[in-house]
Structure 1
Amino acid sequence: MLRPPDVSDGELSDRPDLSVPTAEATGLARYRLAAGDILCVRTGRPGACAPVTPRQDGWLHSDTLFRIRPTSAVDPAYLAHYLSSPAAQGWILRRVHRGTGIPSITGRDLADLPVPLLESAAQREAAEIMAAVTEKIAVHRQIVETANELRTALALQLFSAPK
C-alpha cells in the first residue's frame, strides 16, 4: 500500500513498506490504482504528486493520498508534470490547511485547481519534453551518487594508515 513517504521527486516507490493481506485488499477496491492514475499527498506534504506506472497497476493507496484518474481529455503524463510545476505547487500551497498542525489539503481544494488544457498533441509534446528533462536530472543524480562513492573509496584507499 502506497503512503505519502512513497511519493518522492515525482515518482512512486517500487517498494512500499506497508503490505495488505489479500483478504483485506479485496474490500479496498476504491483504493486500487491503475496505470495512468496520479497520486497526490493529502496530509504531511500536500501537493507532492507522482504518476502511477504499469508496474504499480493494481496496487493500493492509503487514504492520506488522493487518486486522480484523468479523463480522456487530459494526458496523464501532462497532468502529472503540471501538478509538479511551480504554478500548480504555488496554487496548492496557498490552500494548505494547518488546523491540526499537520499540513493538509482537501479534495475540494485540489479539484478547484485550474489546469491549462492544451490540445492533445500539445499535451503529449509538453509531457515528452518534461520527461526528457526529468530523465536528464535522474542521470545527473546518478553521476553525483557514483562520484561520491568513488570519492569515499579513494579516500579510504589513499588516506588509510599504513600497516
Structure 2
Amino acid sequence: MTRTPVLLGDVCEVTPSPSSDLFSELTADGEGTPVVTPADISDTRRIDAQALRRLPGDSVGLERFRLRPGDLVLVRLGRVGRVGLVGEDARDWIYHASCIRIRPDEEQVDPVYLSSYLAHPPVVDELLSHVHVGTVPMLTAGSLKRLPLVLPPLHKQRLMAGALGEVSLQMDVHHRMLARLDALRQGMFARMLGDEFPSTATSRPAGPLLERRAPRTRRTNRMS
C-alpha cells in the first residue's frame, strides 16, 4: 500500500541559519568553534571533520546552532540541496550561514534514510522548485518544512539505511583511492618532466600575480 507523504516539518525540527556576520573571520588555524560549510559536505553526504575551519573566540550565543550526531546540514544558498549527515565525531560544531539544520525525530525518521531521501534527484528537483531565484539561489526554512516526505515504517527505513550505508562506504573508499591515484599521477608527471619544466621561482612574474596566489590563512569564500 502506498503511504501518504508527510511534511518534513511535521517530523523534523528545521532551524534557520545563524547570521552571516558571524563568519567573517573563519580560519584554518588556531582554536575555536568548528563550522560546517557547504565545502565540507562530500558527494557521499559525509562531513570531513579534519577539513572544518573554525570561528575564533568563544561560542556564546551560538548554542541554538549546535550540531549533534544524527543532524543533517542542508545547503540553502548557492548549491541548494547538498546535504550532509553529522557523524559521531561531532564535537561542539555549528553550521554556517549558508546552511539549514534538520534534526529528525528519531522515533519516526532514520537520519541515514532521510539524508538519502533528500539527495534523491526527484526530491532535489522538488526542493529547487521552491528556491528563490536572485543573485544567489536561496531556500528558506519555511519552504523546507513544507517538503513532502515519503516515510516508510521505521524498521524499513533502517533496513534501507543499512544497505545504502554500505554503498556510501564503498564510494568513500573509491573516492580516496582516486585522490591517491591523482596525486601519484601528478608526481610521476613532474618527475618525468624533470629539468625541462621551468622553475616556479623564475617562471612566475613578480608583483600582484604572486600576491594573488599566495596561501591564505583565512578562507571566507569557500562556499561550495
TM bucket normalised to smaller: 0.7 to 0.9
Which ranges in structure 2 are unaligned for 5 or more consecutive residues? 1-34, 197-224
Which ranges in structure 1 are unaligned for 5 or more consecutive residues? none
d(CA) in 2 for partners of 1:38 and 1:107? Answer: 13
d(CA) in 2 for partners of 1:111 and 1:41? Answer: 14
1:114-151 CA distance string (max 9 Å, x none)? 11111112111111111111111122222222223333
Change (3 A) 1:155 1:119: same
Q: AA paired with 1:88?
A: V
**Greater fraction strand:** 2
Say if 2:103 is the partner of 1:69: yes
Q: Indicate the residue corresponding to 2:117 in structure 1.
A: 82
Which SS does the other structure have where 2:147 is aligned?
coil
Q: Indicate the residue corresponding to 2:133 in structure 1.
A: 98
Q: AA paired with 1:29?
A: E
Identity over aligned pairs, percent: 30
Change (3 A) 1:57 1:18: closer
Change (3 A) 1:161 1:88: same
Count, aligned residues:
159
Which residue of 130, 144, 150 corresponds with 1:116? Answer: 150
d(CA) in 1 for partners of 2:187 and 2:66? Answer: 44
Deviation at 1:38, TM superposition (A): 0.6
Q: AA paired with 2:112?
A: A
User: How high is the TM-score relative to the length of structure 2?
Assistant: 0.64
d(CA) in 2 for partners of 1:45 and 1:149? Answer: 27
State the structure with more CA Rg: 2
User: How high is the TM-score relative to the length of structure 1?
Assistant: 0.86
Say if 2:186 is the partner of 1:152: yes
Q: AA paired with 2:143?
A: D
The runs of at least 4 consecutive aligned structure 1 residues that moved more than 6 Å come to: none
- Counterparts of 1:51-62 in structure 2, within 5 Å, are 51-62=85-96
Q: AA paired with 2:55?
A: S
Q: Indicate the residue corresponding to 2:55 in structure 1.
A: 19
Higher relative contact order (CA 8 A, sep 6+): 2
